């Protein structure tokens, strides 16, 4: 993936809960230099085990040298991240706080919206959207449109987006239609398999046969198009 996944290309990760999506995605994100992971669930354990710095606020665009952001919330963390970026070193950050009551839920929704806007305008990030269904649902966070806009238009900014969700039927079709690769996990849901196959330009019968043979905690990486290359069987090591 380090060789084939180019900046500006997106990935959709689809499968039932408990099948290891976050574990695989953390490993996948390790091939990228600058990663911003959105945690709308509220301190997801697997994501927290990644070793990424965690913040609950976003800096102003322009960076710490101009605006002395280090004196504000999460300032030391962002200052360290900016120093790493300036030095050409990897920088990875989780954006997300607690979600234990209604007040914290409201703050988390606002924070997710700010993070999406920051990633879009600052450019160059690989943005990981964990539980895209939660983030995009009109009954929950209602932040689908800005992510969809990035999926469609972020290529020129070399911004890649990795979306993770449980079923293709419950999120915007842009997540798979704009993806260069899809990743599927064991499932017997033929509607889900058919939807992913159609979006990725693959024969659904061949995809179903491959998914049916997946062992637990293995996934199938699906390049776009019948000429996009072979599907690949992958197992990710445990995070942390």
Q: Are strands 53-55 and 91-95 parallel, antiparallel or unpaired?
A: parallel
With contact defined as beta carbons under 8 Å apart, do 211 and 22 qualify?
Answer: no
pLDDT at 169: 66
**Token pair 């030391």: residue:** 76
Q: Which residues lie closer than 8 Å to 122 by C-beta, 6 or more apart?
A: 61
pTM: 0.90
Distance CA 226, CA 237 (A): 29
Give 14's pLDDT tier (boundaries 50, 70, 90): very high
Distance CA 239, CA 20 (A): 10
> Which range, of 17-26, 33-42, 67-76, 158-167, averages the lowest pLDDT?
67-76
145, pLDDT greater than 90? no
Give 41's pLDDT tier (boundaries 50, 70, 90): confident
- Spell out the domain ranges in the chain: 10-40+106-235
Phi, psi of 210 (to 5 degrees): -70, -45
Give 72's pLDDT tier (boundaries 50, 70, 90): low
64's tokens: 């710490």
Taking residues 183-204, report their average pLDDT: 92
Average pLDDT, the chain: 87
Give 100's pLDDT tier (boundaries 50, 70, 90): confident
1, pLDDT greater than 90? no
pLDDT at 240: 61
Chain centroid to CA 236: 16
DSSP 54-98: EESS-PPTT-HHHH-GGGSTTHHHHHHHHHHHHTT--EEEEE---
71, pLDDT greater than 60? no
Helices (H), the chain: 21-29, 45-48, 64-67, 75-86, 102-122, 132-136, 144-153, 174-177, 190-200, 204-212
Render the burial of 148-163: b for 16+ CB within 10 Å, e for the rest.
bebbeebbebebbbbb
93 bridge partner residues: 36, 53
219, pLDDT greater than 90? yes
With contact defined as beta carbons under 8 Å apart, do 66 and 78 qualify?
Answer: no
164 bridge partner residues: 13
User: In terms of CATH architecture, what is 10-40+106-235?
Assistant: 3-Layer(aba) Sandwich (3.40)
pLDDT at 62: 65
């Amino acid at each position: 993936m380090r060789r084939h996944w180019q900046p500006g290309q997106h990935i959709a990760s689809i499968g039932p809960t408990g099948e290891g999506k976050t574990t695989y995605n953390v490993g996948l994100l390790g091939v990228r230099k600058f990663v911003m992971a959105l945690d709308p669930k509220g301190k997801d354990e697997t994501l927290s085990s990644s070793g990424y710095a965690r913040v609950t606020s976003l800096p102003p665009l322009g960076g710490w040298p101009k605006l002395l952001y280090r004196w504000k919330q999460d300032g030391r963390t962002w200052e360290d991240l900016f120093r790493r970026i300036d030095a050409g070193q990897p920088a990875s950050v989780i954006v997300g706080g607690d979600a234990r009551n209604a007040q914290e839920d409201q703050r988390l929704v606002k924070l997710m919206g700010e993070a999406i806007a920051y990633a879009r305008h600052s450019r160059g990030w690989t943005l990981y959207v964990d539980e895209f269904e939660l983030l995009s649902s009109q009954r929950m966070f209602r932040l689908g449109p800005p992510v969809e806009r990035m999926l469609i238009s972020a290529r020129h900014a070399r911004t890649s987006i990795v979306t993770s969700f449980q079923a293709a039927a419950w999120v915007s079709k842009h997540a798979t239609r704009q993806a260069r690769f899809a990743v599927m996990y064991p499932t017997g849901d033929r509607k889900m398999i058919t939807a992913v196959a159609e979006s990725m330009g693959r024969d659904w019968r061949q995809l179903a046969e491959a998914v049916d043979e997946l062992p637990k905690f293995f996934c199938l990486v699906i390049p776009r198009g019948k000429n996009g290359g072979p599907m690949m069987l992958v197992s990710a090591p445990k995070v942390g």
